[in-house]
Amino acid sequence: MQTIKLRSMGSDVVLLQQLLNKWGYKVDETGLFDEQTDIMVRDFQRKNKLAVDGIVGKGTWSKLQDENARQTATLRLTEEDFKRCAEILGVEVAAVKAVQEVETGDRGGFFAPGRPAILFEGHIFWSQLKKYGLSPEDYVKGNEDILYPKWTKNHYKGGMGEYDRLKKALAIHEKAAACSASWGLFQIMGFNYEACRCKNAREFVEKMCANEGGQLDLFTEFLKSNGWDNYLRTLNWTEFARHYNGPQYAQNKYDEKLQKAYMKYKQ
């Protein structure tokens, strides 16, 4: 494809407009690079961290045709999703965005389509196996990276590597494994599926896999069930961090990070 820009015409412009529509933009496929197309191109470039110049060259063409990137983008939260959550909880949109940023930031709720962001916790798996009547000591050999009695971050792999750990755990006990990872944009532990209004861990995982809007809905139910939405409503970051991130929240300065993120989105 040729490099094209405002006032260009021809088949490459038609292709550009077709690709923009596949990405969810609403642009007429006229073959004329008009002002409407220019606005859409610049928005696309901005959202995909490209040079925002309205010029469709190699980099923009490449991103437009990246099918994996397009599928991932369709999973993302919209401003309407944030507003819906804030309205249900009776909190500010900035407060919801602050929690999302501190939990996953620019990483988002997915590593890849169908693969929500997860972090597998071996010490939780240890306790979950006990809950389901199994002796974790019987499964440790060969599984030292997924099964241990006390918390440690030494076995974290990050990214898709966490799915390698989850797969090993699933082979031992499916439900215990699903309950032993934190999932999605808001990193909710799987054992909280009932607080998220799911009938079982499998339903919880399925909703996590759908899209970020679904993950936000689970977060909404999770806060309501625990009554923690009140801390967001009153902007009590210390208590929200204490309950949401645990008693060691201060070591990672979760309350300070939440306050800082809130002030950014409040502006």
Write out pLDDT tens, residues 132-188. Answer: 999 999 999 999 999 999 999 999 999 999 999 999 999 999 999 999 999 999 999
Beta-bridge partner residues of 120: 181
Beta-bridge partner residues of 56: 4
The whole-number pLDDT of residue 1 equals: 83
The whole-number pLDDT of residue 67 equals: 86
The whole-number pLDDT of residue 104 equals: 83
Which residues does the chain have with pLDDT short of 70? none
This prediction has a pTM of 0.73
Q: Quote the tokens at residue 37.
A: 């197309």
Distance from CA of residue 199 to its chain's centroid? 22
The whole-number pLDDT of residue 107 equals: 81
Q: Quote the tokens at residue 79.
A: 């401003």
CB 211 within 8 A of CB 227: no
DSSP label at residue 186:
T
CB 218 within 8 A of CB 188: yes
The whole-number pLDDT of residue 76 equals: 80
The whole-number pLDDT of residue 250 equals: 87
| Placement of tokens 């009932």 in the chain | 194
The whole-number pLDDT of residue 24 equals: 79
Which string of DSSP letters, residue by residue, matches 204-221?
HHHHHHH-HHHHHHHHHH
